[in-house]
A and B are shown apart, each in its own frame.
Chain A
């Protein structure tokens, strides 16, 4: 139980294009989903908290117009990296929190490479 999927698992794109990453909770409903970014040899850094049906809350220093988050249902959140640049290349990981629980379950991650 508590399985979270991400799609795609990796993506290569040209600078200036937009990339959408999907995060799905497969066997449970998630009131809240989270988006993290992880650079090589670094820990996870929270980018934003996404609540179903409402606007996402972004961490300080994260551009909300660049990283668009949509949480349209209790099982799906999407992160769109708009006008991607090489410095946006990273490992993006989502997590989902069970309703009434504190534990977050993580997806397998999406590796983004911007050329």
Chain B
């Protein structure tokens, strides 16, 4: 059974204090790994898709990396507006419907 585990559950950073969020996964054939950002009371906002080990993608202060077992979302010099819940999801090759299996998320709080 596909599993997605995110850690830590919650993270508090000072503005400018860089850190990484972890997403460990087990899946029977990875089609893609996705990172989303979710603000309270809103739908998830797409950040990145990673397809194969060694792939990296960047967007502003965020950088996502992928290995065969896990993905990291690196946040460089975060700002208070980066506070949100970050969700990781995997899509398996076996899933013909392209459904996503989500982790429980990491709640990030960046204080001034």
A contacts, CB < 8 Å to B: 2, 4, 6, 32, 34, 42-46, 49, 51, 57, 91, 93, 95, 97, 102-109, 111
Contacts and interface: CB of A to CB of B under 8 A. Distances in A.
A4 B98 CA distance: 17
Nearest to B85: A43
B104 A43 contact: yes
6 contacts: A44-B44, A49-B97, A49-B98, A95-B100, A107-B43, A109-B42
A106 B36 CA distance: 10
Given A43-B104, A44-B87, A102-B31, A93 B99 contact: no
A106 B44 contact: yes
B78 interface: no
A97 B103 CA distance: 19
Contacts of B91: 102
B41 interface: yes
Nearest to A108: B43
Contacts of A32: 97-98
Given A45-B102, A109-B41, 6 more contacts: A4-B43, A43-B102, A44-B102, A46-B99, A46-B101, A97-B98
Nearest to A34: B99
B43 A109 contact: yes
Contact of B45 (A34, A45, A106): A106
A105 to B, nearest CB: 6
A66 to B, nearest CB: 20
Contact of A43 (B49, B98, B103): B103
A93 B43 contact: yes
A106 B43 contact: yes
A104 B104 contact: no
Contacts of A91: 41
